[in-house]
């Protein structure tokens, strides 16, 4: 039904465009798509102050400290973007935002969006989690709570800690910060 865009565009963009086109051409799964609107504008990130070299040096040993620092998170995301692997950090950030949600209606909205963007098979920014974690997460989505994505978020954190953080620490992005 959809044209093979991979012949016209690089593979990553083609998949993204094909997914978006497919979504537009589909009928909504249920009336929930009409009841739960998607936010119009993404929130603007806070202005981040550049850390001292000493503070940035601490990030080598603590992904948590890196992700908690707005400048560190922005730098890490830029690095991941350069490697075409930013979905992990985006998922982690989305989960952190989700956990702060108080309203059950907003929580359901955010859970649906996170699932569609990061968890479901062939999601535009699908994160790499095992089948068991995906099954537990999907079961948790039946009744969204602040802990719905905890297992998946922990798996992605461990993946970033083991793979992405060491590459970031060796990168030019990081070396500019510790000068």
List the structure tokens of 167.
């590459």
List the structure tokens of 46.
């806070």
**Domains in the chain, number:** 1
Cβ neighbours for 98, distance < 8 A, ≥ 6 positions apart: 107, 110, 111, 114, 146, 148, 149
Q: Is residue 36 part of a domain?
A: no
Domain membership of residue 100 as a residue range = 53-176
Q: Are 71 and 79 in contact (CB under 8 A)?
A: no
Interval 32-83: pLDDT, tens: 443 344 443 334 345 678 899 999 999 999 999 999 999 999 999 999 999 9
List the structure tokens of 5.
């865009």
Residue 138 CA: distances (Å) to CA of 1, 57, 123 = 29, 38, 14
Model-level pTM?
0.72
**What's the CATH code of the domain at 165?**
1.10.167.10
Q: Is residue 30 part of a domain?
A: no
| CA 79 to mean position of chain CA atoms | 14
List the structure tokens of 118.
């990061």
Helix H, strand E, coil C: the string for 74-96 is HHHHHHHHHCCCCHHHHHHHHHH
Amino acid 2: pLDDT: 43
Q: Is residue 7 part of a domain?
A: no
Amino acid 66: pLDDT: 96
Q: Is residue 38 part of a domain?
A: no
Q: Is residue 11 part of a domain?
A: no
Q: H or E element: which one contains 68?
A: helix 63-68
Q: Is residue 107 part of a domain?
A: yes
Q: Is residue 172 part of a domain?
A: yes
Angle formed by the axes of helices 150-159 and 131-140, nearest 10°:
150
Q: Is residue 146 part of a domain?
A: yes
- Residue ranges, the chain, pLDDT below 70: 1-47
Amino acid 173: pLDDT: 84
């Amino acid at each position: 039904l959809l044209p093979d865009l991979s012949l016209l565009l690089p593979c990553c963009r083609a998949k993204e465009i094909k997914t978006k086109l497919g979504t537009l051409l589909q009928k909504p799964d249920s009336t929930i798509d009409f009841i739960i609107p998607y936010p119009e504008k993404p929130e603007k990130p806070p202005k981040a102050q550049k850390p001292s070299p000493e503070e940035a040096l601490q990030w080598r040993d603590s992904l948590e400290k890196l992700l908690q620092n707005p400048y560190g998170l922005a730098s890490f995301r830029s690095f991941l973007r350069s490697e075409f692997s930013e979905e992990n950090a985006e998922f982690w950030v989305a989960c952190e935002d989700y956990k702060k949600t108080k309203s059950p209606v907003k929580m359901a909205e955010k859970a649906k969006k996170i699932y569609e963007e990061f968890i479901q098979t062939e999601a535009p920014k699908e994160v790499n989690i095992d089948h068991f974690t995906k099954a537990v997460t999907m079961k948790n989505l039946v009744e969204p709570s602040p802990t719905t994505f905890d297992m998946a978020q922990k798996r992605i954190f461990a993946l970033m800690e083991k793979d992405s953080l060491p590459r970031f620490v060796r990168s030019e992005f990081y070396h500019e910060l510790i000068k």
